[in-house]
Amino acid sequence: MSERDFKEQFWSTFESIDLDKHIILVFSLKFENVSPLKVAEEICVENSTGTWTPVSYETLDIRKEHGAKTIGLYSTHSGDYIIMVAVNSHDYDPERVGLSALLADVAGNVYEIKMIDKIKLLDIFFPRSWLSAFRGPKYGIDGIREMTKTSDQRRPLIGAIVKPNIGLDPRTISVIAYEVALGGVDFIKDDEGFVQTSYCSMEDKVSYVEEVLDKAYEETGKRAFYVYNITADKHEQVIRMAELVRSLGGKHLMISGTYTGFGAVRTLVEDNNINLPIFVHTAGKEAFTRLQDYGISAAVFSKIWRIVGADEVLTSAIAGKFHVDLTEAKRQIIYLRSKLYDFKASFPVIAAGLHPGSIKAACDFTGNDILIFSGGGILGHPMGTTAGAKAMLQAVTAWMENIDLVEFSKGKPELAQAIELWGVKKLIE
């Protein structure tokens, strides 16, 4: 067989492949002074069987069955290209190896191809048969709604972030949690920087916090849930902390997923002894996602977090302090909430620089099924932490009732002072 015969195996059409046996990848490409056909073939080489020179053990049958296939190649008005590549899903057993092995191959060497200047993985489409190995969220949106007693009202959920996010002892954290819980929030969480330390053991933190949350519940009739950060390098340590949280009465977990990895979350989800909701904090994802023409789309990450079982996923700082690409933010929200085979929907989460004056702009964009976390916008309130929590919920009520925020703040000093201090945000400023 000629080299051309082998290269022809890298080409096919969407209609001619078996969609139940292939994973579809969509990339954007930038390159100059090279044939797009050559670029497409090089991507297929690196995403499947080939290497830089022919090897005798790669037969035509192997190339036909296991070679990646370009099933779409499109030029854009800007001179860039979009390529769709199909890879054989049977080469990446979802139970034995899963997403780590898949992504190491299909989102690995392609970023080092010399002839490509910029490449971004825009999307991945998985067959139902491949995803059947994953459990997805245990609770999802409906389960979290039931947990927070908001199934009927379906308002946006509000959570507080403990600040400062490092340096606090367990007693101080419990004081903050109590003050916030009195304000009626749904959640209080560790920040990504606050993990188990020599001065703040997980055991003491959970014990003190759960005690005061029970007290606040008795006083208000509203249950707030603390979200404990169990991020660690070793998966066995993650599991150990999760079991400790559960054993001491904790009811919700958090893990910084970008650097602990998809496997850590999947391990948590598939441990039937834990059975707690999991919030995936995505600190660091912008290192992969922020550039429009290079890296991996944030929507791809959101889709995968849902697949491996995250009940809530941090998306973008909508109407907040950080960079946000609204198109990508919308895709993340859609991928977390829309139908995906039989998986439960995950709660999209927004945070970073949000306060009562951000609520309308954020919720107009996201809709009701959103979890909004605020740190300084609650703990920095001039009337105190409890007032800050109340002001956030008052802003949510104004949005739900479609009442102007400033008008609604009359007679509500918590909301009025928050607006006076921080103003009212627009979606983009």
Identity of the residue numbered 362: A
Is residue 255 a contact partner of residue 229, using CB atoms and an 8 Å limit? yes
Cα torsion angle, 300, 303, 307, 313, sign: positive
**281 part of the active site:** yes
Task: Supply the DSSP symbol for 15.
Answer: G
Peptide bond into 277 cis (omega under 30): no
**CA 424 – CA 357 distance, rounded (Å):** 4
Nearest-angstrom CA–CA distance, 287 and 332: 16
Q: Which of 21, 30, 118, 163 is catalytic?
A: 163
Cα separation, 201 vs 157, in Å, equals 28
Place of tokens 């849902």: 306
Among candidates 191, 276, 188, which has minimal Cα distance to 226?
188
Catalytic residue among 138, 205, 252, 281: 281
In terms of DSSP bridges, do strands 278-281 and 312-314 run parallel, antiparallel, or are they unpaired?
A: parallel
Backbone torsions φ then ψ of 81, nearest 5 degrees: -130, 150
DSSP 358: G
Amino acid found at 79: G
Cβ contact 410:347 at 8 Å: no
Query: Count H helices, E strands: the chain?
Result: 19, 13
3-class DSSP state of 85: strand
Instruction: Output the six-digit token pair for 167.
Output: 């340096």
Cα angle vertex 422, ends 416, 426, to 5°?
105
Tokens describing residue 370? 């959103």
Distances from the Cα of 236 to the Cα of 127, 230, 271, 283, 288, angstroms: 31, 11, 12, 22, 27
3-state DSSP call for residue 327?
helix
What is the separation of C-alpha 87 from the centre of its chain, rounded to a whole number of angstroms? 25
Q: Is 163 a catalytic residue?
A: yes
The residues near 220 (Cβ < 8 Å, ≥ 6 apart) are 181, 182, 184
Contact 252, 187 (CB under 8 A): yes
- Provide the annotated active-site residues: 163, 281
